[in-house]
């Protein structure tokens, strides 16, 4: 199974600070069809996950553009340019290139 390693596990930030989360895969997530199925999700307390970024860098509709994704192959990053209070929660990367699909362990974003 593909292992997604997220770092850091916890992130403390002030409002307005820019932060990054890393997601490293145990194997390339480039699919034979040319797509890389790496998404980023945010789960707020008591809520289901919400899609932020799909196909590495594409912003889901309605998601603020302070969120951005980058990377390729096995190395991916989610950046938040100017944290806002509503961004607090747990961030997960998820890959759907190789079955079984797998999730990272999560990165908890909290206020400093």
Partner 1 sequence: QVQLKESGPGLVQPSQTLSLTCTVSGFSLTSYSVHWVRQHSGKSLEWMGRMWSDGDTSYNSAFTSRLSISRDTSKSQVFLKMNSLQTEDTGTYYCARNFWGYWGQGVMVTVSS
How near is the Cβ of 60 to partner 1 at its closest, in Å?
A: 6
Which of 39, 67, 91, 97 touches partner 1 (CB under 8 A)?
39
Query: Which residues from 6-35 bind partner 1, rule CB under 8 A?
Result: none
Among 3, 15, 105, 111, binds partner 1 (CB under 8 A): 105
Reduced 3-state DSSP string for the chain: CCCEEEECCEEEECCCCEEEEEEEECCCCECCCCCECEEEEEECCCCCCEEEEECCCEECCCCCCCEEEEEECCEEEEEEECCCHHHCEEEEEEECCCCCCEECCCEEEEEC
The smaller minimum CB distance to partner 1, of residues 17 and 60, is found at 60
Which residues from 51-90 bind partner 1, rule CB under 8 A?
51, 54, 60
Nearer residue to partner 1 within complex by CB, 29 or 94: 94
Of 94, 97, 109, 110, the one binding partner 1 (CB under 8 A) is 94
């Amino acid at each position: 199974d593909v292992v997604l390693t997220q770092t850091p596990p916890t992130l403390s930030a002030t409002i307005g600070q820019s932060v990054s989360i890393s997601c490293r895969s145990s194997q390339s997530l480039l699919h034979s069809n040319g797509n890389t199925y790496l998404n980023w999700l945010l789960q707020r307390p008591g809520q289901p996950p919400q899609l932020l970024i799909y196909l590495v860098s594409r912003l889901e509709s309605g998601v603020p553009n302070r969120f951005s994704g980058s990377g390729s192959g096995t190395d991916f990053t989610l950046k938040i340019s100017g944290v806002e209070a509503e961004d607090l929660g747990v961030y997960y990367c998820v890959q759907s290139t190789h079955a079984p699909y797998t999730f990272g362990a999560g990165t908890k974003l909290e206020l400093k």
